[in-house]
Amino acid sequence: MAAIRFSALATAFEREIKPYSKPKAPVSEYFGCNVFDKKKMKKYLSNEAYTHVLGAIEQGTRIDRKIADQIASGMKAWAVEMGATHYTHWFQPLTESTAEKHDAFIDFADDGQVIESFSGKLLAQQEPDASSFPSGGIRNTFEARGYTAWDPSSPAFVIGNTLSIPTIFVSYTGEALDNKTPLLKALHAVDKAAVDVCQYFDKDVNKVIATLGVEQEYFLIDEALYNARPDIVLTGRSLMGHASAKDQQLEDHYFGSIPERVTAFIDEFETEAYKLGIPVKTRHDEVAPNQFECAPIFEECNLAVDHNVLLMDMMRRIARHHKFAVLHHEKPFNHINGSGKHCNWALATNTGVNLFSPGKNPKSNLQFLTFLVNTLKAVHKHADLLRASVASPGNAHRLGANEAPPAIISAFIGKQLTDMLNALEKKVGNEKMSPNEKTELKLNVIKVPSILLDNTDRNRTSPFAFTGNKFEFRAVGSSASPAVSMIALNSAMAEQLKEFKKDVDKLIEKDVKKDEAIFQVLRKYITESKPIRFEGNNYSDEWKKEAKKRGLTNISNPVEAFDAYLTPKSKKLFTSLDVMTDRENEARTHIRWDYYTKRVQIEARVMGDLVMNHVVPVAIRYQSELIANVKGLKELFGDKEYKELAGARLELIKNISYHVSYIKAKVSEMIEARKVANKIENEREKAMEYATKIFCYLDDIRYHVDKLELIVDDEYWPLPKYRELLFIR
């Protein structure tokens, strides 16, 4: 058995480093070369078709069939020139990956000749047999049809020999079966609501987009070692493995120099990313050994989401060229840091203003304060939903551990802004601020960004932190689609901005001046949302106590967290904004329960198999050797001498017996517990049973396996160890 580990190690050690030869041309010359972007549309489309696409991208106008035919033909001409032979509707079903079904352009013309064909109909809509994608009960099994429909706001691209067209995915009855559909709706809602509020400050604003910059953390391990770890292959994380003597305690990995083989991998996927128009910018070593981060420059939210899922997919593929496996799991290894996906979020206007960036004059600063305070209010009101939006089986290992934000949602804004909000709040009731005070307050805001941006001591423990000109949602898990948390956040913000407008208009109707009305409403919101603001150490125990006093929830169980989707408050949020119907929302929640159950079930099965087939047999084999040795000692030496000599070995023999018996007993218990859980019909209850009754066996059993790893002869140990997985590169 150990043979697999040693042959994997030999392969890993003997790997040659193949440097990747980057294109000689500067990035600006090939950036986006595989994307059917505006420049190419201009070249390949008629003026009429081009104007229609722009309208669809910018105003969401519909494209009629005749025009769609023209666009399809231009797109095909470009793609064929690029070497594409196939096309696919590329979509994001409610699993953690993307989906595509390829069709060739090939067709017969009327005269029987083979031609490349691609029509507006095929561009606009497809009907993939979708019966194997999760639908949460929305799609009947006899009605397997699902529709994919073109999303013109995310440009088509060529990968390999395939033209990929970003699409939404809906059921026959029109319900969303993907993440993109509700995301587009939430973005539309926040656009409308924010434009209405911006109108108080600037009549030229007619479009607000949400911007998103995604920092993606990941681990790399040697492919041969990966293949020798069935747990990592099947579950994405190591279910066992004793801590390496050295891991991240020397803090020598963070921002360290990147090893050559890793650099070659990064170079290649970055080049491919550039070709697809993904503006990757930052790369660095992360805190844990073999952990890295990649961050593109922010983009419009929908595009940034597509780019993130595309990037993850590409990383997985290209890692293979360098004999690496990339792990996007939130917690692939115990004892060291896990991976997150920081989602940097802001709102930007068509006039080029970032609404979270304090401006240069008092007017724009009142606008800044308005958006800041409304964000805090939205986060306060929907903290439980935001928490739910980052809940997943993988993230359950990360949130709440002392390396990642806790399961308590709070917002950090920094001392200067806190002082400012406190000052504003003090003017309670109807006490008016003097014009001087108002101007002073607005002017003070101007100083904020430089202070915050320069402040290297930003609070890294906060799940939702203001970082100078954007909020950073840090609780998102590394494997998640950023769409899920962005749906929740942008919806919450849209609802809040609508509420704000209503409140201000009510006062204006009562003849309160606009500025004063805004101040009064903000003041009220500052007080109401105060409990969500926390500037201290989010990892501390005091915060847990304090948060409880403030009425903030601290839900570490993901199944319990999902309940927030089904509260009247959340349902109203989604339905009133037309983001999701109750049926769609409920279907998604069913999928979450089911997914959670299956993931823990798989982990439990893999654990059972591995310990019984890999670990326990080698432990017993080694124990037998020890027993034979002890017997030999007894034969050779007299009783007294034997006792002295065999003492340590007898201890080991007993220890092995203890751990093996414990493991065997617990595995049997775990199997019985699964049988009980599997009989539960109600999906939520079943997931809950898995979360509360089965999940705990994994760590319990693991503890004893890891102890055995320390005792059993290294020559026998079948699975690559942490020190090998994490340090060979």
Which residue ranges make up the site for ligand ADP (CB under 6 A)? 211-213, 215, 282, 295-298, 342, 344-346, 354, 469-470, 472
Residue placing its CB nearer to ligand ADP in the complex, 350 or 469: 469
In sequence order, what E strands does 277-352 have? 280-285, 291-296, 299-300, 324-327, 341-349
Q: In sequence order, which residues have a C-beta less than 8 Å from that of residue 662 and are 6 or more positions away?
A: 704
- Comparison of 297 and 451: residue with beta carbon closer to ligand ADP: 297
User: To which H or E segment does residue 218 belong?
Assistant: strand 208-222
Residue 74 interacts, among Mg ion, ligand ADP, none and using kind-specific CB cut-offs from 5 to 8 Å, with none
Which one, 222 or 286, has the nearer CB to ligand ADP? Answer: 286
Q: What values do phi and psi take at 458, rounded to 5?
A: -60, 150
* Kind plus residue range of the DSSP H or E element containing 356: none
Number of CB atoms found within 10 A of residue 430's CB: 8
- Among 472, 441, 503, residue whose Cα is nearest residue 196: 503
Compare residues 354 and 570 and give the one whose CB is closer to ligand ADP: 354
Structure tokens at 73: 């033909």
Q: 57 - beta bridge partners?
A: none
Interaction with Mg ion in 199-258: which residues (CB under 5 A)? Answer: 215
The distance of closest approach from Cβ of residue 666 to Mg ion in the complex, given in angstroms and rounded to an integer, is 39
Residue whose CB is nearest to ligand ADP in the complex, by number: 213
Contact status, residue 181 vs residue 587, Cβ threshold 8 Å: no
In contact, 464 and 414? CB cutoff 8 Å: no
Cα gap 387→476, rounded to integer Å: 9
Closer Cβ to ligand ADP, 162 or 357, answer by number? 357
* Residue 559 partner contact from ligand ADP, Mg ion, none using kind-dependent CB cut-offs of 5 to 8 Å: none
Would you count residue 470 as binding Mg ion (CB under 5 A)? no
Quick one: 295 or 521, whose CB is closer to ligand ADP?
295
Cα–Cα distance between 533 and 530 in angstroms, integer?
Answer: 6
Q: How far is the CB of 270 from ligand ADP (least distance, A)?
A: 14
What is d(CA 418, CA 459) in angstroms, rounded to the nearest whole number?
14
Q: Which does 295 bind (CB under 5 to 8 A by kind): Mg ion, ligand ADP, none?
A: ligand ADP
| 13 class by beta-carbon count within 10 Å (0-12 exposed, 13-18 middle, 19+ buried) | exposed
Q: Which does residue 213 bind out of ligand ADP, Mg ion, none, counting CB within 5 to 8 angstroms by kind?
A: ligand ADP
Taking the least distance from each CB to ligand ADP, the nearer of 457 and 542 is: 457
Q: Which does 282 bind (CB under 5 to 8 A by kind): Mg ion, ligand ADP, none?
A: ligand ADP
Number of residues counted as binding Mg ion (CB under 5 A): 2
> DSSP label at 331?
-
User: Are residues 187 and 301 in contact, defined by beta-carbon separation less than 8 angstroms?
Assistant: yes
Residue 438's binding partner among Mg ion, ligand ADP, none (Cβ under 5 to 8 angstroms by kind) is none
Question: Closer to Mg ion at the Cβ: 215 or 495?
Answer: 215
Q: What is the C-alpha to C-alpha distance for residues 727 and 231, in angstroms, rounded to an integer? A: 19
* 657 binding partner (options Mg ion, ligand ADP, none; Cβ < 5 to 8 Å by kind): none
Q: Which is nearer to ligand ADP, 264 or 295 (CB)?
A: 295
Q: How far is the CB of 218 from ligand ADP (least distance, A)?
A: 14
Structure tokens at 404: 């990642």
608 binds, among Mg ion, ligand ADP, none (CB under 5 to 8 A by kind): none
**DSSP string over 109-155:** -TTS-EEE---HHHHHEE--B-TTS--TT-S-TT--BEEEEE-TTS-
The sign of the CA dihedral 648, 650, 651, 657 is positive
* Residue 449 beta carbon to ligand ADP: minimum distance, rounded to whole angstroms: 11
166 binds, among Mg ion, ligand ADP, none (CB under 5 to 8 A by kind): none
Beta-bridge partner residues of 465: 412, 472
Beta carbon of residue 342, minimum distance to Mg ion (angstroms, whole number): 4
* Shortest Å, Cβ 296 to Mg ion: 13
Return the number of the residue (299 or 724) whose C-beta is nearest ligand ADP. 299
Q: Where are the alpha helices (DSSP H) in 253-326?
A: 260-275, 301-321
Q: Distance (Å, rounded) from C-alpha 223 to C-alpha 322?
A: 9
Smallest gap, in angstroms, from Cβ of residue 196 to ligand ADP? Answer: 21
- C-beta separation of 328 from 341 below 8 A: no
- Residue of 533, 296, 585, 331 whose CA lies nearest to 413: 533
CB 346, min distance to ligand ADP, A:
4
Helix/strand/coil percent split, the chain, to 5: 55, 15, 35
Q: Minimum distance between the CB of residue 358 and ligand ADP, rounded to whole angstroms?
A: 13
CB 591 within 8 A of CB 136: yes
User: Minimum distance from CB of 213 to ligand ADP (Å)?
Assistant: 3
Quick one: 387 or 470, whose CB is closer to ligand ADP? Answer: 470
Q: How far is the CB of 412 from Mg ion (least distance, A)?
A: 13
Residue 211 contact among ligand ADP, Mg ion, none, beta carbon within 5 to 8 Å by kind: ligand ADP
Task: Give the x-and-dash track for 511-550 against Mg ion (CB under 5 A).
Answer: ----------------------------------------
Examine residue 342 and tell whether it contacts Mg ion (CB under 5 A).
yes
Asked if 501 touches Mg ion (CB under 5 A), the answer is no
Q: Closer to Mg ion at the Cβ: 191 or 215?
A: 215
* 698 interacts with, out of Mg ion, ligand ADP, none, CB within 5 to 8 A per kind: none
Least Cβ distance, residue 472 to Mg ion (angstroms): 5
Of all helices (H) and strands (E), which one includes residue 587? helix 582-610
Q: Which residues bind Mg ion (CB under 5 A)?
A: 215, 342
